[in-house]
Structures are given as structure tokens and as C-alpha cells.
Amino acid sequence: MSLNIIVLAKQVPDTRNVGPDAMTPDGTVNRSALPAIFNPEDLNALEQALRLKDQFPGTTVTVLTMGPGRAAEVIREAMYRGADGGYLLTDRAFAGADTLATSYALATAIKHVCPNVDLIIGGRQAIDGDTAQVGPQVAEKLGLNQITYSEEILSLKDGKITVKRHIDGGVETVESPLPCVLTVNGSAAPCRPRNVKRVMKYKRCLAPMELAQGISFADLPYAAEYEKKPYLKLGQLSCADVNADLQQCGLAGSPTKVKNVENIVFKAKESKVLTGSDEDVNGLIQELLASHTIG
């Protein structure tokens, strides 16, 4: 059995190690101060896909990511770890998309490039928006079952997948016919490391969007390689390539409007250090009762 798997992945600013310059004064993310990384839970998703590929040789794992040219780094990173290839969904018309417009674009692209997809796997949520909406919306738009908070694929046979879900207070095992959409929780197995032979093989992979204005593959160093090895040119899709409805893309297709952004300013001048001793805990309870914070 061989499967067609699409992995949804996103390049995100690394919000895990935030320094003082992480936000601009107007309250938006200062992208230049935060390194761009592979969204962590999308790596968990990729690992689940690669495990299926280990189990069912002949399986194709294709990464789909939406973003500017530099987001193609996510596709390369996935290929270093075992993915077969990928598509960069990129167009000015996609800019400013909320989760609705993003899932519309992704679903449209999947229908276009992989109409016979067996499984779509993405991370639960991205660390920049934290919505956890894109995976489920893609499933709805494609009319597929969805299994969220997936932690482990237990089996896949006879056109059915059995998945362990991480839920509040325990785990749940569910079964779904294929095709379906999985969103993977961060508690799932971490992604395997990059394989150095694959790194050396795919290191020159580029999406056309990554080339500077007026430069073609023929102008690059080792240009002959791009002729000889077609896999070095990554797939790229525009709005028109996937016949997307412009009204449902980007800002135009995004009902979500940011009304206001507030900076959180910690006003307290002093902090207190409490130990776990009974005395300190009692003291804190008394203080909180007195200030009517609790009670």
C-alpha cells in the first residue's frame, strides 16, 4: 500500500525565546528580531507522515506551505528529514489572510495538486497565531473527517486510520475512514533530525520566488545542476495556478479584523519571592484574602 500524504507546514517567527525587542512599538511582531522557524507542531505532524512512509514504502509525502519566498525553507527542511517534495503557495493576493482565507487557499491548492490525497496532516496550531483553526477549516472545506489533537497513529489498514488523541484528562482512540485530516499535538513524537545525505542532495533546492528579481535558475551558481536534477526546483503555486477565487483570498477573504492591539505592560514595581513552605503559602493566602483577590 502506498499513500499520498500532504503535510501542512508554516514558517513562523520563533516566539519561544522572546527578547525585549520582539514587539514593535505599534504592537506588531518584530519579525526581524525573531528567527523564522518551522512551526514546532508541524514538525510533529511531519514525523507522523514520515512514520507512515517508513511503514508503507512508496508513500509520497508532500509539504504544502503558504508564505513569501523565504517560507520555502520549510519545504527544504522537510525534505532534509524525509519528505519527497513540496509546494510553496505564494501570491500577493494571499497576503493578509486570516484562518478562513488561509484554509480556503490551502484546500483549493490540495484539490489542485493532489485530488487523490489519502491523508492531510498538520500541526495543531502555529505559535504565532495560536488559533488551531486552519486544520479543521481545511477539513470542512474539503468535506473530510478530521481528527484533532492527534498524538499517535496506531494503525492504518483497509482504508481506515486509528488514532490516539490527547484530550483533557486522558487519551481517546478514534477511527476514521480515509481520506481525512489530522492535526497533531505537540506531545506527539518529536520529528527525526535532518539526514545529512539528504541535506547534501537537496541543499540547492529553490522555489522560483526565492530568486532575486531578474535572476533565473540559469543564472545561479551550478546552473547545470538545475537542468540535470529537476527536484532542485521546488513546486510553486500562485492564486491563478490553483484557480482560487480572489474574493476568498488574502485580506479580501478575511472577515477577521484586528480591532486593537494592546501592549501588556507589567506595572508592579516590586516582586516577592515565596518558597513552598507552609508559612509562605499561608502568608500569601491571608494577603490575597485581605485584598479580596480570592475569597
Partner 1 sequence: MANYYNDISEIKFELENSPLMPRIVELKERQYEDKDKYDEAPQDFADAMDSYDKVLDVVGDIVANVVAPNAEAVDAEGPHLEKGRVTYASKTYENLNAMIQAGMNGMTMPRRYGGLNLPVTVYTAANEIVSTGDAGFENIWSLQDCIETLYCFGNEEQRQKYIPRVCKGETMSMDLTEPDAGSDLQSVMLKATFDEEAGCWRLNGAKRFITNGDSDIHLVLARSEAGTRDGRGLSMFIYDKRDGGVDVRRIENKLGIHGSPTCELVYKNAKCELCGDRKLGLIKYVMSLMNGARLGIAAQSVGLSQAAYNEAIAYARDRKQFGKAIIEFPAVAEMISNIKARLDAGRALLYQTARYVDIYKALEDISRERKLEPEERAELKQYSRLADAFTPLAKGMNSEYANQNAYDCIQVHGGSGFMLEYACQRIYRDARITSIYEGTTQLQTVAAIRYVTNGFYSQVIEDYEQLPVAAEFEGVKARIKAMADKFNACTAAVKEADNQELHDLCARHLYEMAADVIMCLLLMQNAAKAPELFAKSLQVYVNLAEAEVEKHYKWLQGMSVAQLDNYRKA
At closest approach, how far in Å is the CB of 131 from partner 1? 25
Pick between residue 160 and residue 203 the one whose CB is nearest to partner 1: 203
Pick between residue 111 and residue 192 the one whose CB is nearest to partner 1: 192
Amino acid at 113: V
CA distance 127 to 124: 10
The answer to whether residue 51 forms part of the interface with partner 1 (CB under 8 A) is no
**DSSP reduced 3-state for 6:** strand
Distances (CA, A) of 188 to 52, 149, 163, 185, 213: 14, 9, 11, 6, 41
**DSSP reduced 3-state for 155:** strand
At closest approach, how far in Å is the CB of 187 from partner 1? 17
- Unique residue bearing C-alpha cell 482565507: 101
The answer to whether residue 233 forms part of the interface with partner 1 (CB under 8 A) is no
Task: With CB under 8 A as the rule, give the number of residues binding partner 1.
Answer: 14
User: Are 97 and 251 contacting, i.e. CB atoms less than 8 angstroms apart?
Assistant: yes
CA distance 161 to 164: 10
Site string for partner 1, 81-110 (x = CB under 8 A): ------------------------------
The answer to whether residue 229 forms part of the interface with partner 1 (CB under 8 A) is yes
Pick between residue 219 and residue 245 the one whose CB is nearest to partner 1: 219
Q: Which of 110, 132, 127 has its CA nearest to residue 183?
A: 132
Pick between residue 86 and residue 136 the one whose CB is nearest to partner 1: 86
Pick between residue 78 and residue 110 the one whose CB is nearest to partner 1: 78
**Which residue of 222, 245, 247, 274 would you call a contact of partner 1, by CB under 8 A?**
222
Hey, which residues between 126 and 155 contact partner 1 (CB under 8 A)? Answer: none
**Using CB atoms within 10 A of its CB, is residue 133 exposed (0-12), middle (13-18) or buried (19+)?**
middle
The answer to whether residue 225 forms part of the interface with partner 1 (CB under 8 A) is yes
Pick between residue 128 and residue 241 the one whose CB is nearest to partner 1: 128
Site string for partner 1, 172-211 (x = CB under 8 A): --------------------xxxxxxxxxx-x--------
Residues that bind partner 1 (CB under 8 A): 192-201, 203, 222, 225, 229
